[in-house]
């Protein structure tokens, strides 16, 4: 199917079930959970996952030279780990997670795209919807022979601390914070110790959970547009998405892509970087 059949950026459980097991279609379980949830994503994968799915360890496929969580690795490092996992440049990739909202899967979808692999999709509704429909699962750890995967970072899709500081002055990009409203306002504590409460001054607030329905599927396009408008976000203008550690923010980037807007960038350091410093301004209260 690779290269002949279009691969949507969002695929249904029925779509995947019809194609599961085809050559060069790789399924990745990219589950990751907040530390406070005390869930072991790798153990849960080994106990139950979609048939043939490989495990993508988000914590391990990150820059290990920084204390900030989930920072992008180098292109060479990403290519090496994906090759060891058994992926190849010609593969079609479908990513899911077990969070119920495709929280971490969206981050992994974005990582493949930012490293130049465009043929990647999210499984709408993730593992929760797949299980609710009684579709096949298996246990154990899937391994493949090494593949040949290459990567090249698209720097235009990433913002660092300096770029975020500069945007405070210029205001050319809308900063959209995907954390829960209480954390955005500074009323609720951060899950990571040592972080101030609040948000980057001038940010809009749009909790990532507001982009999905009760079954974890992405809202229809018209509903997504209404959510964006209600949060004061203009998808036609430049957007930088942020959150706690650069994970849930990617749900917005994916949703914008579905709506036909591909210019959104990610602040990779996210609130863990901004809120963990003493030299960055912080605002509290609603947007």
Which sequence positions are flagged as catalytic? 243
- Angle separating helix axes 103-114 and 249-258, nearest 10 degrees: 70
How many whole angstroms separate alpha carbon 273 and alpha carbon 253? 20
Residue 12: DSSP 8-state? -
Least Cα distance to 240 among 180, 182, 160 occurs for 160
Write out the two tokens for 81. Answer: 């780990």
**Do residues 272 and 195 make contact, with C-beta atoms less than 8 angstroms apart?**
yes
Lookup result for tokens 């990617």: 250
**Do residues 151 and 39 make contact, with C-beta atoms less than 8 angstroms apart?**
no
Angle made by CA atoms 95, 100, 103, in degrees to the nearest 5: 55
How many whole angstroms separate alpha carbon 5 and alpha carbon 11? 13
């Amino acid at each position: 199917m690779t290269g002949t059949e279009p691969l949507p950026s969002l695929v249904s459980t029925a779509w995947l079930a019809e194609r599961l097991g085809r050559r060069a279609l790789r399924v990745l379980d990219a589950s990751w959970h907040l530390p406070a949830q005390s869930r072991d994503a790798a153990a849960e994968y080994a106990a139950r996952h979609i048939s043939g799915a490989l495990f993508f360890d988000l914590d391990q496929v990150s820059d290990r030279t920084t204390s900030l969580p989930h920072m992008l690795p180098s292109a060479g490092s990403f290519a090496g780990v994906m090759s060891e996992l058994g992926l190849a440049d010609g593969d079609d990739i479908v990513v899911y997670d077990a969070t119920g909202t495709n929280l971490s899967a969206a981050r992994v979808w974005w990582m493949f795209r930012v490293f130049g692999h465009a043929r990647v999709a999210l499984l709408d509704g993730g593992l929760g919807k797949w299980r609710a429909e009684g579709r096949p699962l298996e246990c154990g750890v899937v391994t493949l022979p090494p593949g040949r995967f290459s990567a090249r970072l698209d720097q235009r899709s990433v913002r660092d601390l300096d770029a975020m500081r500069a945007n405070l002055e210029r205001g050319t990009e809308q900063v959209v914070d995907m954390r829960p409203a209480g954390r955005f306002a500074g009323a609720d504590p951060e899950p990571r110790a040592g972080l101030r409460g609040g948000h980057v001054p001038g940010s809009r607030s749009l909790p990532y959970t507001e982009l999905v329905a009760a079954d974890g599927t992405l809202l229809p396009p018209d509903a997504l547009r209404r959510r964006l408008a209600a949060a004061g976000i203009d998808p036609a203008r430049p957007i930088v998405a942020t959150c706690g550690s650069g994970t849930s923010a990617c749900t917005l980037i994916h949703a914008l892509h579905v709506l036909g807007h591909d210019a959104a960038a990610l602040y990779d350091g996210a609130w863990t970087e901004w809120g963990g410093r003493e030299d960055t301004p912080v605002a509290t209260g609603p947007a």
